[in-house]
Amino acid sequence: MELDAIFAGFGGQGVMLMGQLIAYGGMHAGLNVSWFPSYGPEMRGGTANCSVVLSDGVVGSPVVARPQVLVAMNKPSLEKFEAKVKPGGFIFYNASLIDTKPTRTDVYVVPVHANEIAAELGNDKVGNMVMLGAILATTEILSVDDIMVSLKKILPERRHHLLPLNEQAIRRGMEVVTAM
C-alpha cells in the first residue's frame, strides 16, 4: 500500500497541517512516511505545499513528482500541479475558491466546498479539516481515529478545546463526498 500526495494552497489555509496529519496518521497506522514542506518566498500569504508519502515498504524519496493525490486549496495550486497527477489519481479541489474545474479526464475529480462548509460549522479555519475528511472518505488510506490521535499530538494543549470542532469538520467532509 502506498500513497503519494501533494497538498497545496496559500499560506494560512492549513495545507502543511493536512500533510502533517496524514504523515503522523500514517505513523500511527504503522506505515513508513515522509513529509516534505515547500514554501514560496513571501513572508505571509504566499504559496505553500508539501509532499507526503505513506508506504508499507521503504520510502524511496520524500519528493513527489507524480502524485496519486493532489489537494488544491486555491486556483494557482490547481494550475501548477494538475498536469502532474498520475492517471487514475485524485484531484481534490476547494470549490469555494476555485471557479474552474480541472480539465483532466483521466483522473477522479472531487470538488469540496471547504470554505462554505467551514463557515456553516462556525469557524472559517476548519476548511482544511473538511478537505481532509473528503480525502479520508475517498481514499480510505487512514481512519478518523488515526488523524485525531495525530491532531492531539500536533495541536498545542491550549488548542485542545478545538478537537471536537476539528473532528466535526472531518466527519462533515466525509459526509459530503459520500453523498456525491
Per-residue pLDDT tens over the stretch 91-130:
999 999 999 999 999 999 999 999 999 999 999 999 999 9
Per-residue pLDDT of the chain (180 residues; tens, 9 = 90+): 789 999 999 988 999 999 999 999 999 999 999 999 998 766 566 779 999 999 999 998 888 999 999 999 999 999 999 999 999 999 999 999 999 999 999 999 999 999 999 999 999 999 999 999 999 999 999 999 999 999 999 999 999 999 999 999 999 999 999 877
Q: Provide CB contacts within 8 A for 130, sequence distance 6+.
A: 112, 114, 117, 118, 121, 169, 170, 172, 173, 176
Say which residue the cell 491532531 belongs to.
Answer: 151
Cell of 15: 495545507
**Domain spanning 2-178: CATH 3.40.920.10:** yes
CA 162/CA 164 separation, integer angstroms? 6
Burial class, 100, CB count within 10 angstroms (exposed 0-12 / middle 13-18 / buried 19+): exposed
Tell me the angle at which helices 163-178 and 144-154 cross, rounded to the nearest 10 degrees.
150
CA 68/CA 91 separation, integer angstroms? 9
CA 123/CA 167 separation, integer angstroms? 13
pTM score of the predicted model? 0.94
Q: Provide CB contacts within 8 A for 117, sequence distance 6+.
A: 127, 130, 169, 172, 173, 176
